[in-house]
Amino acid sequence: MVNSNNKYEMRIAQLIARSGFSSRRDAEKIIIQKRVEVNGNLISSPALNVTQNDVVKIDGKIIEKFSSPIIYLYHKPKGLIVSKKDEKNRPTVFSNLPKNLRSYNSVGRLDKNSSGILLLTNDGKLSRFLELPINKIKREYMVQVDKELSLENLKSIRQGLLLNGFNYKPIQISKSSARKKAQYSMSLFEGKNREIRNIMANFKINVIDLVRTSYGPYSLGNLKPSEYTQGDIKLLNFN
């Protein structure tokens, strides 16, 4: 939205999210908790438009205004939760990252026992763009299971399944060229919670190892567990 003075306006929660302080949903919560000031005035409703010229404080501290979108590629190791706070006090990916990246948004999730590429961005809008199925951002996985899938299993995965009320869209799957016996390459365009594990469990097959090898144009490459590197934002068709 642009006002009569040609200053770009957005909802206050969006500005907070794009600053990297929190997600938009969490921003709305802290506004309702009366922790946010705009130009010295305490606010209690997210229904407020602001511009980059407004001074926004959270808990008395001025938030950094958002810059151009930045994206990082991070190799999530097994054993970490993709969350900024965990109610069970388990170690998280953000406790494993340097302080300058702890305010970033994670793109999607990987469960505790999975590893591989996890994208981090300072821009909440970009995060949502990468997650929404309508944008058809491909995620690729290498999956090792405890026994080989049958032809019927493969057919069901490629056609899509309805399991426990969840509609799992068709997944591209092929036998991996690696020497491991029951290892498969899988590609999907949305990321429901524990999707691959739930599908395999339906066939009474256990996942031994699950690694996300790429997300959109970004691949894991030679990144070792816990390593990270900045990605080229120009690879995305995003503005």
Query: For residue range 135-148, what is the model confidence (pLDDT) as tens digits?
Result: 999 999 999 999 99
Q: What is the pLDDT of residues 40-99, one digit of tens each?
A: 999 999 999 998 789 999 999 998 766 678 899 999 999 999 998 888 889 999 999 998
Tell whether the model's pLDDT for residue 118 goes beyond 80.
yes
Q: What is the pLDDT of residue 123?
A: 81
| Average pLDDT score over the chain | 89
Count the neighbouring beta carbons within 10 Å of the beta carbon of residue 10. Answer: 17
13-27, 28-42, 89-103, 157-171: range with lowest mean pLDDT: 13-27
Strands 115-121 and 207-215: parallel
Of 3 and 107, the structure prediction assigns the larger pLDDT to: 107
Q: Is 26 a catalytic residue?
A: no
Helix H segments across the chain?
A: 12-19, 24-32, 124-131, 151-159, 195-202
**Nearest residue to 223 via CA among 94, 111, 117, 93:** 117
Helix H segments across 21-139?
A: 24-32, 124-131
What percent of the chain lies above the pLDDT cut of 90? 64
pTM of the model: 0.76
Instruction: Tell me the average pLDDT across 107-132.
Output: 90
**Domains recognised in the chain with CATH numbers:** 9-62 (3.10.290.10), 71-133+218-235 (3.30.70.580), 138-215 (3.30.70.1560)
Catalytic residue among 111, 123, 146, 209: 111
Tell whether the model's pLDDT for residue 121 goes beyond 80.
yes
Tell whether the model's pLDDT for residue 231 goes beyond 90.
yes
Task: Measure the CA–CA gap between 48 and 217, rounded to whole angstroms.
Answer: 36
Task: Measure the CA–CA gap between 115 and 78, rounded to whole angstroms.
Answer: 5
Q: What is the pLDDT of residue 67?
A: 64
Q: What is the pLDDT of residues 182-219, one digit of tens each?
A: 999 999 998 888 999 999 999 999 999 999 999 999 99
Tell whether the model's pLDDT for residue 2 goes beyond 70.
no
Q: How confident is the model at residue 1 (pLDDT cuts 50, 70, 90)?
A: very low
